Amino acid sequence: MIRVENLWKKFGRFDALRGLGFHVPEGSAFALIGANGAGKTTTIKILMNILEPTRGSATLLGVDSRKISPRELRQIGYVSENQDMPSRLTVEEYVAYLRPFYPTWDRDLEASIALQLRLPLERKIGDLSHGMRLKMALMCALPFRPKLLILDEPFSGLDPLVRDEFMEGLLEQAGEMTILVSSHELGEIDGVATHVAFLDEGQLLFQESMSELTGRFREVHVTLEIEAARPAQMPKEWLEMRAIGRVLTFVDTRFDENGLNERIRSRIGGVRGIDAQPMVLRSIFTTLARAARDGRT
């Protein structure tokens, strides 16, 4: 659905994107995660042909981003906090203006989304709060049942209640859509994304399906008979090894239920007990980001 290859973007002498590459499978909910300034918005603006890449390419629905036409745009929903909307029109007037551009616009769906998001149709766009504006952008992006929905930091500045309403509105309509969502908050995409890519200073640190990612990570505690010392030789998939008293702790990034005991006992003597716990997404990301910065992934 989206293919980004060796993408570079220069602003003056500054490289905002440095050879970025990732691939969004059809039907996925793909999260682009990265700290402030990592290059998420720049990537999305290139996808939407708001910016031109300096080098490399971005393809959506099989078309180069530089060549997307109204035909493709009718199949792409775009929601961003810095989206231009006419502040003097009411919500209702703006939606009426948009409808004719989309042959697939479904008015029943529009009505149900407006109801669900509790949008004040008669209010002027300029008078809407930040959260309402984002919800309104979502309402403009969904009724034509886009094949691809691109959301640039849709949750920033939303209070938890509004965020949940927004998510409910979105997920109820998800169906056959492919979703690309950018965020710097890991918690926001937990339970939503099927795939994740991690961006750091304009480069991709990793991309993976969520189930693979959570499946292969375990925090392992090895209890020893005597005071533990950090082993000199470790497999490179064991990260963040620490020795506290008689317990060795590390993160196994290639967890295999059947093989773990043997792998540990063949390397470490005097093992009393082994405990491997699943990790929350936030800890997985922290581990990976640290490892990537240390050049270990």
- The reply to whether 7 sits near ligand ATP by the rule CB under 6 A is no
Residues 117, 187, 1, 18: is their CA dihedral positive or negative? positive
Q: How far apart are CA 292 and CA 42, in angstroms?
A: 22
Give dist(CA 139, CA 44) in Å, integer: 19
Tell me which of 1, 28, 30, 41 binds ligand ATP, using CB under 6 A. 41
- With binding defined as CB under 6 A, does residue 42 bind ligand ATP? yes
Interaction of residue 224 with ligand ATP, rule CB under 6 A:
no
* Contact between residue 27 and residue 178 where contact means Cβ atoms under 8 Å apart: yes
- Binder among 6, 11, 97, 229 for ligand ATP (CB under 6 A): 11
Kindly report the three-state secondary structure assignment for every residue of 150-193: EEECCCCCCCHHHHHHHHHHHHHHCCCCEEEEEECCHHHHCCCC
Phi, psi of 18 (to 5 degrees): -130, 80
**Contact stretch for ligand ATP (CB under 6 A) within 18-26, 39-47, 117-125, 203-211:** 39-47
DSSP at 153 = S
Q: Should residue 34 be labelled a site residue for ligand ATP when binding is judged by CB under 6 A?
A: yes
* Residues in 129-168 at the binding interface with ligand ATP, rule: CB under 6 A: 153
Binding flag, residue 39, ligand ATP (CB under 6 A):
yes
| 37 contacts ligand ATP (rule: CB under 6 A) | yes
CB nearer to ligand ATP: pick between 119 and 199: 199
Residues that bind ligand ATP (CB under 6 A): 11, 14, 16, 34, 36-42, 153, 184
